Structure 1
Amino acid sequence: MFDGRRVLPGRPSVLVTDGRIVAIGNLEPEGVPVHDGRGRTLLPGLIDSHVHTFEGSRADALRFGVTTELEMFGDPAKLADARRRRKSLQQTRESDLWSAGNGVTVPGGHPLGTDWEFPRVQPDTDLDAYVRDRIAEGSDFIKLVYEPGNPPDRPLPSLTAEQVRATIAATHRRRRLAVAHVEKLRLWVDTVRFGADGIVHAPYDAVAGDADVVVLKRSGALVVPTLSVVDWGAGAKSLLADPRVTDWLSGTQTYLLDQEPPDRPDRPDFLGIASANVRRFHAAGVPILAGTDAPVRANVSGASLFTELEHLVRAGLSPSEALTAATAAPAEAFRLLDRGRVAVGRRADLVLVDGDPTHDITAVRAIRTIWKNGHAVDRTPTD
């Protein structure tokens, strides 16, 4: 049993009542269903710390053991229902959702092509009022975009440094977390200096120097590397070749995983650079959280978290540390205090897998049973 931080000694059992864990130990309860876990590992429900949801994606996530998702930009119209559902212990076929709702960005800036209109920051926008309005419409935390000049062939406008500072300050006045979309190292370090609580991509244009790592470590900011976004489809190909995964994919997931990123033979080694940064950050003790940025660039809710965990292990995390990055660490960082651990009093979001992913991280693909709120999840794919 991996409790989110460590493997518990012996072969303890978990007793679940009314959707919560009520006891852990050498239990022999009478009158309740018993599930045989011999040769398997019990994990907390997984948490993906960077997604963008759409109709059906939360069901796709849950079928692969991702019981909670943190959305880094999304339509606020769905947030009231998401908040109601995540408080419930009733049976469900969807992951629970926390969301930034509308992010903080400028006209013409990232992201492009959203299917809903939302207010964007103008030069004279009162950012304190802007942040207040985002929280009023349901944002659980604030996500801002600081990415001038990206992509290179179509430079995008962005918030100014002063607007980034003001957004973070306004967020902190309301005791919420401020996280940022930043991909380039120079801006990345600046955003950490400005007080961001986390950056939801690892820089992939340059490897951080010692001084950069010191700034990050001292800030206490977390990092969601999203290495799956820069692996250029390698993770998707791996999933599509694995029957432990393909048998449970929806048509939507298969379609998205099958999308080939555009051929760019002269592109830098984005994955190598970003992974080197993760290795440096992790060695310095920076909190690393697992996130996929699904459905961006051949990533999907649920299954792509497996490849993200594998990327984290290749970047220097142990398998147990990678599992923590998808369980206890995001629960603590985002104050989700009823989940992320196998512990008495926690919500019974649990995943049973064949083998031992604390030694072989790929074993997390071999899901035997998922429980959400103490109820077994039907893994039949739907569209």
Structure 2
Amino acid sequence: MNRGASRRHVLSLAGVAAIASVGAGVPAPVVIRDVRIFDGERVRGRGSVLMQDGRIAAVGEVPSSARHQVYDGGGRTLLPGLIDCHVHSFEGSRADALRFGVTTELDMFNDPSLLPEARRQRRSTAATRQADLWSAGVGVTVPGGHPLRPEWDFPRVESGTDIERFVADRIAEGSDYVKVILENGGPPPRPALPTLTPGQVRRTIAAAHRHRRRAVVHAEKLGLALSAVRAGADGLVHAFWDTVAGAAEIAGIRRAGAFVVPTLSVVDWGIGAKELLADGRVTPWLSPTQQYLLRQEPQDRPGRPDFLGIGSANVGLLHAAGVPVLAGTDTPIRANANGVSMLAEVAHLVRAGLGPPAALAAATSAPARAFGLTDRGRIAPGLRADLVLVDGDPTTDITDLRAIKAIWKNGHLVDRTPPEE
């Protein structure tokens, strides 16, 4: 996680505006008319969506009313707000995310002091300048293990640590789920790293489940991933890219009921970033921080395995076997930026074998279902009015997702003006 990014860039966003408002910050009922509706799972055809009091009030046929403010969708495509299932948040990053239609972020390792305010925001339907945030808080790792952040002091599991107490402390800090780091380093020239023992992994996952929290695991190698799901992990937050899995191994993950967040963008060696920087539908909305991050050149490693090719092959096999695949970016690692890199990630998922509708579901309804986010991820009455309107039809051409025309967060229209340096 690039905590230095917040030191280099202290950003602000101009604001969030509603089309019209009544009372204190409550938008008037708004109808988005004549849109192709992708409801998070399937295309419903053309219709209208009514938003009221921060939530979706009706979908399909919406009777006209003098009280409604009308937004003409012009035959464009309306989707649920996107959910990025693997980020590391820093100052300004959640505003960057919202400006590209990512209305919810799931943080996978961060300062727990962020959590109380994040929880308050996501319970509200008031106008906001930021994506909503869920977080693991501090992940479960060992001294000298991944992540190697000597400048950041946080609790780690040692040989004599009471695992039950350790997990209880994370829950008390506000962790929404527990992240377990199973990483032994390599391949060369990366050094070998100490990591959790199999017993510590099992006890951590069991403790998380006793506290009614999901347990997700960082495991980038097939053997470690299999060990994690056998220990009861609810999900893997990276694909494994050391080798292509066999049929029996894929079937084992499917039987375990785990989901996978591949984060292909973090191993694409800047391919997705270069595509985004060359796309005129994207560049006008980038903040200075997003531009800086996308322009990073990952350090070349001679003899480096084809992580993207191997990971993509595994994603295709997992999807074909029925393993839930969720979209996540691991921003701001390796030429990735909050919000905008989701547009590259879903394209990677399509190339890996998910059709465009499945890739869009991986960024909307599938994460909501996997993480128990019951008020978002689909376009349906009663759910939060987090919506993205795009030109074209991303259910047939996934790159049309880059042509964003409007975003609503809690029923409020988002000002997409990027901040200045």
What range describes the TM-score normalised by the shorter chain of this pair? Answer: over 0.9
Q: After superposition, what is the alpha-carbon deviation per residue over 1:46-80, rounded to whole angstroms, capped at 9, x for unaligned? A: 00000000000000000000000000101100100
The reply on whether 1:318 has 2:355 as its aligned counterpart is: yes
Give the direction of change, closer, same or farther, for the CA distance of 1:291–1:188 in structure 2 (3 Å limit). same
Of the three residues 37, 55, 58, the one matched with 1:23 is 58
Which moves more between the two structures, 182-191 or 287-296? 182-191
Whole-angstrom CA distance in 2 between matches of 1:151 and 1:145: 17
Q: What CA distance in whole angstroms lies between the structure 1 residues aligned with 2:337 and 2:177?
A: 23
Q: Relative to 1, partners in 2 of residues 1:327 and 1:115: Cα closer, same or farther, differing over 3 Å?
A: farther
Instruction: List per-residue Cα deviations over 1:85-109 (Å, max 9, x = no partner).
Output: 0001110110000000000001111
For 1:81 and 1:357, the matched residues in 2 are separated by: 34
The 5 A counterparts of 1:1-383 are 1-9=37-45, 11-27=46-62, 28-113=64-149, 116-150=152-186, 152=188, 153-382=190-419, 383=421
Deviations 1:14-72 (A, max 9, x none): 11111111111222232221111123100000000000000000000000000000001
Q: Secondary structure at the match of 1:119?
A: coil
Is residue 43–residue 351 contact of structure 1 (8 Å, CA) maintained in 2? yes
- Once the two structures are TM-superposed, the CA of residue 114 in structure 1 deviates from its matched residue by 6.7
Q: Distance in 2 between matches of 1:199 and 1:87?
A: 27
Q: CA deviation at 1:269?
A: 1.0
My pick for the range that moved more, 79-88 or 105-114, is: 105-114
Deviation at 1:190, TM superposition (A): 1.1
Judging changes above 3 Å, is the alpha-carbon distance between structure 1 residues 98 and 290 closer, same or farther for their aligned structure 2 residues? same
Tell me if the contact between 1:338 and 1:346 (Cα under 8 Å) persists in the aligned partners: yes
Counterpart amino acid of residue 16 in structure 1? M
Alpha-carbon offset, residue 3 of structure 1: 0.3
Residue correspondences, number: 382
Q: Matched residues in 2 for 1:349 and 1:122: separation?
A: 42
Aligned CA distance change for structure 1 residues 114 and 345 (closer, same or farther; 3 Å): farther
Give the TM-score taking structure 1 as reference length.
0.98
Identity value in percent: 66
Q: Which amino acid aligns with 1:352?
A: L
Structure 1 letter corresponding to 2:301: R
Distance 1:117 1:227, change over 3 A: same
CA distance in 2, matches of 1:50, 1:63: 18
More off after superposition, 112-121 vs 135-144: 112-121
Q: Which runs of 5+ in 2 are unaligned?
A: 1-36
CA contact (8 A) 1:21 1:342 kept: yes
Matched position secondary structure for 1:70: strand
User: Once structures 1 and 2 are overlaid, which stretch shifts more, 258-267 or 94-103?
Assistant: 258-267
Identify if the C-alpha distance between structure 1 residues 328 and 115 changes in structure 2 by more than 3 Å, giving closer, same or farther.
farther
User: Helix, strand or coil: the match of 2:192?
Assistant: coil
The residue matched to 1:16 in structure 2 has which SS? strand
Cα deviation, residue 151, structure 1: 5.4
Q: CA RMSD in A?
A: 1.0
What is the DSSP-based 3-state SS (H/G/I as helix, E as strand, rest coil) of the residue aligned with 2:282? Answer: helix
Q: What is the alpha-carbon distance in structure 2 between the residues aligned to residue 381 and residue 151 of structure 1?
A: 39
SS in 2 for 1:8: strand
| Whole-angstrom CA distance in 2 between matches of 1:335 and 1:47 | 12
Q: Distance in 2 between matches of 1:352 and 1:265?
A: 43
Alpha-carbon distance in 2 for matches of 1:272, 1:214:
21
Contact residue 2 and residue 42 of structure 1 kept, 8 A: yes
CA contact (8 A) 1:171 1:178 kept: yes
Contact 1:75 1:116 in 2 (8 A): no
Q: Which runs of 5+ in 1 are unaligned?
A: none
Deviation at 1:149, TM superposition (A): 3.2
Alpha-carbon offset, residue 329 of structure 1:
0.4
User: Aligned to 1:128, what secondary structure does the other structure show?
Assistant: helix
SS at match of 2:38: coil
The aligned amino acid for 2:158 is Q
The Cα shift of 1:150 comes to 3.5
Q: Distance in 1 between matches of 2:139 and 2:160?
A: 17
Q: CA deviation at 1:115?
A: 5.4
Mapped to 1, the partners of 2:161 and 2:125 lie a distance apart of: 41
